[in-house]
Amino acid sequence: MFVLPNWGFRNTVHAYHSDDSVKLPLKPLSPGSTTATSSVSLNQFVETRIPDIKDGAKHVLKPYLFTGTLQTLYTFKADFHQTYPVYFAREIITITEDDVESSRTTFEHLHPGEFTLDYVVAPPVEELDDEVFKARSAETIPEGYPKLRPRCRYYTTKELAALKEDWSKDGAPISIILPGLAGGIQEAPIRSTCYKLYKQGHHVLVLNQRGASRSKITTPYLYTGLDTDDIKYIIHKFQQEFSDEVHIKRQFHAIGYSFGGLQLVNYLGKEGKDSKLTSAITISSPWDLNESMSHVDKSISGHYLFQPVIIHMLLKMVKSNREALSARPDLFNDEVYQDLKKRIKSPVEFDNQYTSKLVGFPSGKLYYYAASPLWRIFQIRTPLLVINSTDDPMISTDYPYLEVKKQPWIYMATADLGGHYSFIKNDGDFWFSNVVESWIDSWKELDVFTPHDVDDNGWDIPTRTKIV
């Protein structure tokens, strides 16, 4: 039985939060003072600084994109190339076997291999010429690596050192963006967020999953919803490189889209109050993976439009990285791949064959249970903004309303319309990226750097089951 979508373009936001939200200390009014004069609750902070997501707030979406499916399709098919002209510098992060062994107490599930970071940068003036940029890109790309997206090139060791030196000189906040499944800087919603934060003077980068966004897999391991140590590794690395208690205290924010948001919430739940983030935001992220897989299969657009695209991306990732993955012939071999390619009809079959086995589960369904952030919602101790729509064709819209009302660290804004991280307004801009910009920019008023600076009045809800 297929589920019928919501219709319309006049959008209303519904807010959910605890009546006793955590208290966020404001910065001292006097430059010479060492203590904050007051604090503001999380829900008051949102309602006064970011009215676009307070309960009952309204905005207008593009009238001809009157369903979540149309919103989502337009987002990933329309040409936004000139709308958000951002440039990126790519860095390869290499994790060696020695790195894994020497940091086992901190990163319990870190794996050897590579992933990449795309820093938002101002390119040299001469590289604004497309031909010059292409030539420079060809000079800096490592041998055997795939060609990158437009306006993104590998930076040399010297260039990266200069970039990081510039970042280290100020106290501007750093925002880490986690894309969705096989997503990256090619996606307009991500470029929109990067562009707006960069224009505000913030430092921004995108963390690409292993093998995603034209990254290269060098070890036989694909990313999963349970893998949060790459995120943790970068956050710890940046804390060491760009922040110290004596000279510069810096705020670190993370923004997760869809599957990236799922990983982000799992990171927050695992770390609890040891999280190194100042705040986090998720956009169109699932809470229950089993329900979401069922939802996308039962919606007409999900079944006929989105599932085939997801399957294509997953199979392509395995095919493109077959050389590195072949080091696990028990799991990644051509015979298994060709058989799966012939019979696969849903992403569940991919996760049954590959993902679940990578993380030690006998089936995709059990993996979905373990990787669902809902299990960790009461372990979160980082201020978290959750943005979703109730017409999302890609994930279950059975959101944890009751749980959020008992969780003082979370503010959830759920809109009637908007699709899957789309929310395209009548002027063609993304509504949610303006919200993200306002949220992060407003934190400059707060004397908060890590969860230890936040007062939750000793709140705790013991959980009977610990999910790793």
Q: Which residues are annotated as catalytic? A: 258, 392, 420
By the 8 A CB rule, do 45 and 455 touch? no
Dihedral over Cα of 115, 178, 227, 336: its sign = negative
Whole-Å CA distances, 95 to 76, 92, 237 = 32, 10, 12
Whole-Å CA distances, 113 to 94, 95, 222, 240, 324 = 6, 5, 10, 21, 10
Nearest CA to 45 out of 381, 448, 437, 439 is that of 439
- What residue type is 348 in one-letter code? V
Q: What is the C-alpha separation between 323 and 332, in angstroms, rounded?
A: 10
By the 8 A CB rule, do 319 and 313 touch? no
By the 8 A CB rule, do 355 and 340 touch? no
Q: What is the C-alpha separation between 228 and 377, in angstroms, rounded?
A: 16
Nearest CA to 285 out of 124, 400, 136 is that of 400
By the 8 A CB rule, do 27 and 446 touch? yes
- Total residue length of the chain: 468
Looking up tokens 């924010």, which residue turns up? 253
Looking up tokens 């996308």, which residue turns up? 296
Stated as kind and residue range, the H or E segment containing 105 is none
Angle at 47 between CA 20 and CA 439, to 5 degrees: 105
Looking up tokens 């707030």, which residue turns up? 57
Whole-Å CA distances, 172 to 64, 88, 152, 253, 321 = 39, 18, 23, 11, 37
